[in-house]
Amino acid sequence: MSKFNRNQIDFRIESLKLTLDGLSQSLKKLRSKHEESDCSDGIWLLEISEPIIGSAFISLQNYINSSIYDRFETLDKQYEKYKLGNYLNNTKRTDIELIIGLANYFKHRDDHGNLFRTTTKILSDVNLKFDKEIDITSSPIIRGFDLISKNWDLMILIKIVKQWRIKLWC
């Protein structure tokens, strides 16, 4: 009989679902406001949505790294575990790697120094621009989210990380 590991049960997913649901509702409200208003344009919608989407990536990053810790009790070789995700079309990067890269970009984009090499490599590998003077229409957060979810559905990200976590435990 196999030994049961209580950490294999995903105690983290419920709080992630609640977080992403709240952020998703915020995006829906902003989109609705945009559609009702004569004064707002698409640029406004992108600018006001970017921090919400960036916050979602940070929440996902926390879930991913915490899941690695649950499984291995260390974050050693975490970048190898990100490879368990599904590869994005025509790239050598997985959806999980992109989530991690976007979370790191969002957290450190305004730092005085340069982004970490691993972050810039991930973003470059999926053809995302990330310089400090980037226009909102080319924002890695916006364009990266579009790569993962064409409908801008934050809740699809739950499915992605849940499938990845199952692979992590196999």
* pLDDT for 140: 97
Amino acid at 72: F
Instruction: Give the up-direction half-sphere exposure of residue 166: CA atoms within 13 A in the CB hemisphere.
Output: 6
Helix 13-36, helix 42-72: angle, nearest 10: 180
Domain-by-domain residue ranges, the chain? 12-169
User: For 120-153, how does the pLDDT look when each residue is reduced to its tens digit (9 = 90+)?
Assistant: 999 999 999 998 888 999 999 999 999 999 888 9
User: What is the structure's pLDDT at 7?
Assistant: 57
pLDDT of the residue at 42 = 86
Q: Compute CA distances 12 → 15, 17, 78, 162, whole Å.
A: 6, 9, 18, 10
Residues 42-63 have pLDDT tens digits of 899 999 999 999 999 999 999 9
pTM score: 0.92
Residue range 4-43, pLDDT digits in tens: 455 578 999 999 999 999 999 999 999 898 888 877 678 9
Counting Cα atoms < 13 Å in the Cβ hemisphere of 20 gives 24
How far from 125 is each of 38, 77, 118, CA to CA, in Å?
39, 20, 10
